[in-house]
Amino acid sequence: MKQRHRRLMLPVALGLSDGILNALMLAANRLHGNTEPMTMSLSLRIAVATAVASIFMLFVAEYAQLRQELEHADMQLNVLAPGRMATSRQGWAVAREACVVASISGLCAFIGSGAPLLVAAVLGAGGLWALAMAVIGLGLLGALVARAVHGSWLVWTIVMMLGGAAVTVLGVYLHIV
């Protein structure tokens, strides 16, 4: 796999799966039909909230990981002042890289969360199609990840769909929205 594709695997897979799972957890009860139908406003608010949380979470994780790598490089190069590389241009490059990766994850989370919820809002009454679309979307994501990592597409697809179904049941039980 090319280096660029490898670099995008985490933010894309994490963003899409996080977005879909957040949509299922937060809105499963409403999509299941136990309350009023999904609105465009609510679907966009959930998608934005999911995107913001994904951006923040992945930025913190990615920035911490990259800073730790700079610290390791300091140690390997016997730099006398710890953290010296982090205060140089490499430190700014790490911050920019973390911002890019976090932004990609946030965009994917927005799409993953927003797509099934917007479908439910457009269809109006009942969101079972949106629930099915979200769970199938997780399955497709699992198949793509399996292909990228040379895993079993069937196992990845089934596990991702079972996870989506379990989160849906939990979301209906918790009836958050």
167 vs 28, which has greater pLDDT? 167
| pLDDT category of residue 155 using cuts at 50, 70 and 90 | very high
Taking CA atoms, 21 is separated from 103, 110, 155, in Å, by 18, 12, 19
Residues ≥6 apart with Cβ < 8 Å to 56: 102
CA distance 168 to 37: 16
Predicted pLDDT of residue 77: 72
pLDDT digits (tens, 9 = 90+) for 45-82: 999 999 999 999 999 999 999 888 888 777 777 666 66
